[in-house]
Structure 1
Amino acid sequence: MSKFMTSFKFTYLGKVKSKSFIIITLLLVLLVILAFNSKNILNLLDDDKNIGIVTENENIYKAISSNKNAYYGNIGVEKYSKEEAEQHLESGEIDYFIEINISENDEINAELFSKSEIPTQIRSGTKNLLDNLQSQISIQKLGLNNTEIKELNKQSTLKEKILNNSGEISDKEKNFQLLFFTFIIVAIFFIVMTYTNQIAMEVAVEKTSRVIEMILTSIKPSLHILAKIVGVFMVALTQVIIVILTVCFCLLIFDAGAIFEKFDLEVTSHSTFLIILSIVFWLIGIISYTIVAAVLGSLTSRIEDIGQSVMPLILILLASFYIVIFSYDNTENYFVKVSSYIPLFSPFTMLFRIANNEVDILSVISSVVISIIFIVTLFIIASKSYKSLILKYEKNILYNLKGVFLRKNA
């Protein structure tokens, strides 16, 4: 046990003190803090915008002034003559101005002026505002009473129901789940890639420098690889705990409710379920990729071949990530469904299905169980073949791997 702890401490402390761990953890903490302060950051970045209104119809200006927040948000509106508006636009006192005229047929004709590209929000807000004004003028022209106006403006009702065992979720809750999921898969992607390269490189360095031969004289190969895997697992767990503590701290310090309200987000029991499973799949992903990386690293006889050795694993990682990215508009496609049960892919694709509330609890449990079985089986194979792999110095990676299986079958 003391030998295992020595190897474990060496792996764990070495990685926790490494620059990559510190940088990635600080970045995750910074992202969490920025997310909880996003409202204040956006307010700082948003310049005060002002719009000038050029019209001879005082009622038009009053209608725009009273309804500007619905179409423009916190943007100032002021009435000017055409000459004044042009001067203020040139000097930068206003950012845009709208010249509005009403024809003899009571049709609104307007022009939107700006010195630079007009943002979509301003363009669409202006169009919606003018359409609303035109509708009001048409109603007055037709002499409709309040009852007729209500009938004219009556809208259809559409309700959404998700008929599965996960229950129904609101749009706000789904927005939060997708936003949280996006953050998680990006974090998993970069963390797994970092640990994969680290563990493979560490094993390869021990092998090529012949240090492993001295290590294996004092500790069993199975204990050595177990110590490395558990060490990396604890490093990942440390990272998760730091992020969770940061989230808890931000929830206590910052006004999370205002942030969720601004971005139309909501956290409920379904979201808590996603957060817990995100941690589970985060750890499953790191352990799975770490074991495979350790085996691939032991296949390498030269440091310069480590990239070639780890490349298949990196391609699987990229494939998992891109299956999700390219399936945002089609969450129930064939690739997502099938890959959500395949180890190495499921930490991404199953979480994606959970975030969209399109999977039942039995499917989630099945995916987790399959991944655990894969991890246990892979570890047994890795621990049995590690000694023969780590002491082989053939330059051909495929030859080393083939030799292991032939020896086992012999």
Structure 2
Amino acid sequence: MNKFIATFSQTYLSKVRAKSFMISTLIIVLVIFLGANFDKIINLFDSSEEITTLQVESDEAFHAQFEAVMDSLETEIDVAQSDGEIGTAEALLRVDGTDPLAVTLEADQEIPGDQMTDIEMALGQVQRMMMIQSLNLTQAEAERLNASPDITYDIAAQSGEEGEASGSAADSEDMPEANLLNTIVFYITVIVMFFIVINYASQIGTEVAMEKTSRVIEMIVSSVAPVTHLLAKISAMISVSLTQLVIFIIAILIAIQLFDFREIISDFGLEANDQTPIMITYSVIFLILGLILYLSVAAMLGSFISRMEDLQQALLPVTMLSLIGFYIAIFNIWSTSDNMLVRISSYFPPFTPFVMPLRAIHEDTGQIPLLIGVAILVVSIILAVLLAASIYRNSVLSTSNGIFKNLKRIRKE
């Protein structure tokens, strides 16, 4: 146990003290804090200042309609009758004609884009109301004028069965829309997992392969059992990756405490629902288990080679499998929970960490598939660690060149 701790500590401290670890961590933390102040950064490059009062030069009827519409849009602009002068943080809306509606908007400063959008939307609604009044339409006729068409799909499928295509169209219309906050959590999970896997899988593979190619391993195994040494290396690299992940989480929590996110949340419409806690919990679980699985496999593949030139070839399965899982998850984000590709790939261990968080977004997935995914990853990790230990023990002192030669030799043994 003392030898395990010594190897673990040496590997862990050497990695967290490395300049590459510190620089990459610092960059991501800065990106987190910049993202937390995204609205303030945009305002630095926006020379326009919000207007507080919009004076309207028109008759009483137009002013009343326009003010009512602006109030319904819940803008922070006060609508007032024109007094002939434009003060600071004010604008003047002059009505030049009503059939058709023509207006002139005057201001001493540039008006922000969101306020311009509100004013234009309000003018559009007022114009429709004036058109309805000029045509002397009843309330029922006005509602019919604004009603959407009732479309029934009756498209023959290629197989010749009627109604099949219309059924699929109806299914697409009934497909539940994923919560935006849950979708963002999912994107963050799979992107962070992909980049950490690629980064640390390469590091642990290089660490194991470098010891073998430099023959340092001959001195190490004389005092430490090969399996103990490998497990200490894997545990240390997993701890380094989790340390970096914890630093990112702490930075996010600090940013939440220091900066006001209410404006950003309101602008993007981010709201949690009943599925959000479940989504976050399983995302963290699959993120951790996915890192452990891929790093264990990378250590196993690194133990195959005897030359550094073969390292990229040995780690190619890790890169390809993680890339495929990443793309399956990303490109099926708007699909239904019963998508056949998503369901099958979620039970395939290399893809489970990427795809299962996608299934956790949908409320109809249930707890059983998610728990099965956790069990699959736990069993896969145990098998990967045992297999890596066995291969490492049999190939640690091998000088055979090439991965396939080592595989043949290990199989014979």
* TM-score band, normalised by shorter chain: 0.7 to 0.9
**Which residue of structure 2 lines up, in the alignment, with residue 23 of structure 1?**
23
Query: Is 1:137 matched up with 2:130?
Result: yes
Q: Could you say if the C-alpha distance between residues 302 and 62 of structure 1 is closer, same or farther in structure 2, counting changes exceeding 3 Å?
A: farther
Distance in 2 of aligned mates of 1:256 and 1:149: 44
Partner of 2:27, secondary structure, is helix
1:343 is aligned with what amino acid? P
SS at match of 2:365: coil
Shift, 1:334, TM fit: 2.4
Determine helix, strand or coil for the equivalent of 1:299.
coil
Find the counterpart in structure 2 of residue 205 from structure 1.
210
Instruction: Note if 1:220 corresponds to 2:225.
Output: yes
Counterpart of 2:241 in structure 1: which amino acid? A
- For residue 291 of structure 2, what is the aligned residue in structure 1? 286
Alignment match of 1:244 (pick from 246, 249, 255)? 249
Superposed CA deviations along residues 225-275 of structure 1, whole A, max 9, x for unmatched, are 110111112222322332333333333333344442332112355322222
Alpha-carbon distance change, 101 to 353 in structure 1, aligned in 2, over 3 angstroms:
farther
Find the aligned partners of 1:250 and 1:183 in 2 and give their Cα distance: 16
User: Counterparts in 2 of 1:260-299, with a 5 A limit?
Assistant: 260-268=265-273, 270-299=275-304
Partner of 2:239: 234
Alignment of 1:8-407 (within 5 A): 8-48=8-48, 106-108=99-101, 128-129=121-122, 131-144=124-137, 174-268=179-273, 270-332=275-337, 333-404=339-410, 406-407=411-412
Q: 1:111 to 1:323 in 2, by over 3 A?
A: farther
Q: Structure 1 residues 65, 267: closer, same or farther in 2, change over 3 A?
A: same
Q: Give the CA RMSD over aligned residues.
A: 4.2
The one-letter code of the counterpart of 1:179 is: I
Q: Which letter does structure 1 place at the counterpart of 2:128? A: S
Are the equivalent residues in 1 in contact too, given 2:349–2:377 (CA < 8 A)?
Answer: yes
Alpha-carbon shift at residue 212 of structure 1 (Å):
0.9
- CA distance change for structure 1 residues 47 and 74 in 2, over 3 Å: closer, same or farther? farther
Contact residue 100 and residue 111 of structure 1 kept, 8 A: yes
Separation in structure 2 between the aligned mates of residue 301 and residue 110 of structure 1, nearest angstrom: 78
Mark the CA change 1:141 to 1:230 in structure 2 (over 3 Å): closer, same or farther. same
Q: In 2, distance between residues paired with 1:194 and 1:259?
A: 31
**How many residues align structurally?**
374
SS at match of 2:275: helix
1:152 CA drift (Å): 5.6
1:118-175, CA deviations, whole angstroms, 9 ceiling, x for partnerless residues?
x998998787555423311212213357x6588568879xxxxxxxxxxxxx97x811
Q: TM-score, normalised by structure 2?
A: 0.75
In the alignment, residue 26 of structure 2 is paired with which amino acid? L
Question: Structure 1 residues 257, 134: CA separation in 2 closer, same or farther (over 3 Å shift)?
Answer: closer
Identify if the C-alpha distance between structure 1 residues 29 and 381 changes in structure 2 by more than 3 Å, giving closer, same or farther: same
Q: Is the 8 A contact 2:209 2:308 kept in 1?
A: yes
Asked if the contact 2:50–2:115 (Cα under 8 Å) also holds between the matched residues in 1, the reply is no
How has the CA–CA distance of structure 1 residues 102 and 287 changed in structure 2, closer, same or farther, with 3 Å as cutoff? same
- 1:407 partner amino acid: K
One-letter amino acid of the structure 2 residue matched with residue 290 of structure 1: L
2:239 alignment partner AA: M
Relative to 1, partners in 2 of residues 1:110 and 1:400: Cα closer, same or farther, differing over 3 Å? farther
Residues in 2 aligned to 1:137 and 1:261: alpha-carbon distance in whole angstroms = 32
- Cα 1:352–1:46, aligned 2, differ >3 Å: closer, same or farther? farther
Distance in 2 of aligned mates of 1:384 and 1:368: 24
The amino acid across from 2:218 in the alignment is: E
- Listed as ranges, the gaps of 5+ residues in structure 1 are 78-96, 113-118, 157-169
TM-score by length of 1: 0.76
Residues 1:289 and 1:76: Cα distance change in structure 2 (over 3 Å): farther
1-structure distance, mates of 2:118, 2:408: 66
Q: Partner of 2:347: helix, strand, or coil?
A: coil
Q: Does structure 1 conserve the Cα–Cα contact (< 8 Å) formed by 2:303 and 2:391? A: no
Shift of 1:278: 2.0
C-alpha contact 1:204 1:297 (8 A) present in aligned 2: yes
Please give the secondary structure, in 2, of the residue aligned with 1:195. Answer: helix
Q: What amino acid is aligned across from residue 390 of structure 1 in structure 2?
A: V
State whether residues 28 and 243 of structure 1, in contact with CA within 8 Å, keep that contact through their aligned partners in structure 2: yes
Partner amino acid, structure 1, of 2:7: S
Shift of 1:287: 0.9
Deviation at 1:39, TM superposition (A): 3.5
Give the match for residue 7 of structure 2.
7
Change in 2 beyond 3 A, CA 1:57/1:269: closer
One-letter amino acid matched to 2:6: T
Contact 1:236 / 1:283 at 8 angstroms: preserved in 2? no
